Amino acid sequence: MRLLGLWCLPAVFLLVHASERELDWWESTIFYQIYPRSFKDSDGDGIGDLKGITSKLEYLKELGVGATWLSPMFKSPMYDFGYDIADFYDVQEEYGTMADFEELLAKAKELDIKIVLDFVPNHTSNESMWFEEALKGHQKYFDYFVWEDGVEDENGVLQPPNNWNSVFRKSAWEYREEVGKYYLHQFVIGQPDLNYRNPDVVEEMKNVLRFWFDKGVAGFRVDAIAHLFEVDKEKYGGKYPDEPISGQDLDDPLSYNYLNHIYTKDQEETFDMVYQWREVFDEFKEKDGLTRVMMTEAYSSPQVTMKYFGDEQQNGAQMPFNFVLISDFNGQSSAGEIKYAIDKFLTFKPIDKLANWVAGNHDNSRVASRFGPKLVDGMNMLVLLLPGVAVTYMGEEIGMVDGYVSWEDTVDPSGCNTDDPINYWKSSRDPERTPFQWNNDKNAGFSTAEKTWLPVAEGYEQLNTEIQLNSEGRSHIKIYKGLAKLRTEPAFRYGRYESVAFNTDVFAFRRWYDGDVYIVVVNFRDEPHTIDFTYFEGVNGHLEVVVCSLESSRRRGDVVEANNAKISESESIVLKLVQ
């Protein structure tokens, strides 16, 4: 038997290495999302800025991160903190100048960190030159937006054209006296939707992409893509039709969920637009050989999400964001539900495309707050070691928690629009946007200002990068760095994947390649369990601890019996099969 095994070896060896292709930069890196307003303030005005980011690029390098995507830093009146862009070709003054941005790019290049920007194609700011010109009756720019006549009610009072609601509540239509019409805003009033049925808009937005590619950015994250197109009103007698009632939030007709968004979301034309943008991305790759990467943000069904990848004829986004770790489970979910959520993207995705994993962003409660601080390392293990590209929201590497932001301090329109000083926090996104916690100096080392734009979260004196980097023992950040390094092993780059829910609490997966076998196990509950890992094919004998979570009593190098492994409360471990 043994002899036979040996004889077979060369053939297996060849086979395995044939499948090992050189990975492109974006396929093996970690993308680190920076929310510029909250990362690092260089001039003491209480607001993060570009120079601040440049000064911390080495920190990213040290973490093992190869790319960062920046939330918008374009010129904006900040009604939606930069997602309302007044000039797509310029930098917001409080964040710095174009020269500062170029410096950031140069420093990043030196460190081999790719810079990805946020592309917000659905709307401009109501204070953009385009919208201002539209209001003055300049036809070219008037046609950049979506306009509709109001309707008179029985009392002769002018009402919005139809029942569409904005994502942030209330009517999606706003009247402008200057032109006697309503404009559409799927998000806040200050974000008039662009009209993608106008070829001038399509060309203009491609030029925005070209402008930043020329400067040297390596890609774009595309914001709110599902909202790009509205239904073609010509098919409905020239009037935008009402959306049907969804059956949710029945007592609250102004809520977004009250309606089923069949005319304002996921319209078929959206996909073609993404394919057209990809052609612009590829124009630049042809020039200099660097792949420009597109990530699309859409909270849609998996079937719809997969269409962003493209098809046999056309390429789309390399990374349609996979939000299952955010939207499909929480601290109460069973291990089975967790497996089911993770399998979802892997099941639907085209076989030749990569998955991607995102556990947090500036729109969702932090991991430590959603799952509890003990699961921070376990969640980072999922993000960094599941097959595919990893995306980390700044602060998740140290387990930052949602900050407390009082009603008086609340600035997010999603919170303010509730007009509810008691329950606003359920809608506000400020808690996950509080300043980054660097050290235990004033304002957590984020800023020297008297008052920062959002308050620093309580407890930063114990929870910050400096303390964690200098700690004698284990810390979230050290664990994160360990995982980032482990991620470069062939088993995690090329290895196959199999997962199982061992019981209601324990989720585990195996990654294997070329004789190396790893098991990642996360116990989602405060209950100990004994697990028999020989369930996994080819796993028996002993397993060695490679990385373990903060509270784990194990040490690196400890040996565990595969058929009788004791997993303690909320423990997460990466194990390697001892050959």
Ligand X SMILES: *[C@@H]1O[C@H](CO)[C@@H](O)[C@H](O)[C@H]1NC(C)=O
**Binding stretches for Ca ion (CB under 5 A):** 41, 43, 45, 47, 49, 122, 193, 227
- What's the closest the beta carbon of residue 81 comes to Ca ion, in angstroms? 14
User: Which of 105, 205, 224, 228 is the binder for ligand X (CB under 6 A)?
Assistant: 224
Of 45-53, 156-164, 185-193, 312-320, which part binds ligand X (CB under 6 A)? Answer: 185-193
The closest of 229, 251, 249, 259 to 162, measured between CA atoms, is 259
The answer to whether residue 232 is catalytic is: no
- What's the closest the beta carbon of residue 293 comes to ligand X, in angstroms? 16
The answer to whether residue 472 is catalytic is: no
Q: Which three-class secondary structure string do you get for 34-101?
A: ECHHHHCCCCCCCCCCHHHHHHCHHHHHHHCCCEEEECCCEECCCCCCCCCCCEEEEECHHHCCHHHH
Spatial separation of the C-alpha atoms in residues 121 and 315, rounded to whole Å: 19
Structure token pair of residue 458? 């309580």
- What's the closest the beta carbon of residue 164 comes to Ca ion, in angstroms? 11
User: Which of 45, 204, 337, 363 is the binder for ligand X (CB under 6 A)?
Assistant: 363
For residue 133, state whether it binds ligand X (rule: CB under 6 A): no
For residue 223, state whether it binds ligand X (rule: CB under 6 A): yes
For residue 187, state whether it binds ligand X (rule: CB under 6 A): yes
Structure token pair of residue 86? 């007044």
- Among Ca ion, ligand X, none, residue 49 binds (CB under 5-8 Å by kind): Ca ion
Q: Which residues contact 1 (CB under 8 A, 6 or more apart)?
A: none
User: Which of 127, 337, 409, 466 is the binder for ligand X (CB under 6 A)?
Assistant: 127
For residue 79, state whether it binds ligand X (rule: CB under 6 A): yes
Nearer to ligand X, 60 or 188 (CB): 188
User: What is the H or E stretch that residue 158 is in?
Assistant: strand 158-159
On whether the CB atoms of residues 572 and 513 are closer than 8 A, the answer is no
Spatial separation of the C-alpha atoms in residues 119 and 204, rounded to whole Å: 13
Query: What is the pairing mode between strands 173-176 and 181-184?
Result: antiparallel
User: Which of 76, 128, 270, 361 is the binder for ligand X (CB under 6 A)?
Assistant: 361
- Among ligand X, Ca ion, none, residue 560 binds (CB under 5-8 Å by kind): none
- What's the closest the beta carbon of residue 447 comes to Ca ion, in angstroms? 7
From 100, 148, 297, 402, the catalytic residue: 297
User: Which of 189, 201, 522, 560 is the binder for ligand X (CB under 6 A)?
Assistant: 189
Query: What is the pairing mode between strands 87-91 and 74-75?
Result: antiparallel
Spell out a b/e string for 17-39, using b for 16 or more CB atoms within 10 Å of the CB, else e: eeeeeeeeebbbbbbbbbbbbbb
On whether the CB atoms of residues 383 and 360 are closer than 8 A, the answer is no
From 223, 266, 397, 412, the catalytic residue: 223
- What's the closest the beta carbon of residue 413 comes to ligand X, in angstroms? 7
Q: What are the residue numbers of the active site?
A: 223, 297
Q: Name the residues that contact ligand X, by CB under 6 A.
A: 79-80, 83, 120, 126-127, 187-190, 223-224, 297, 361, 363
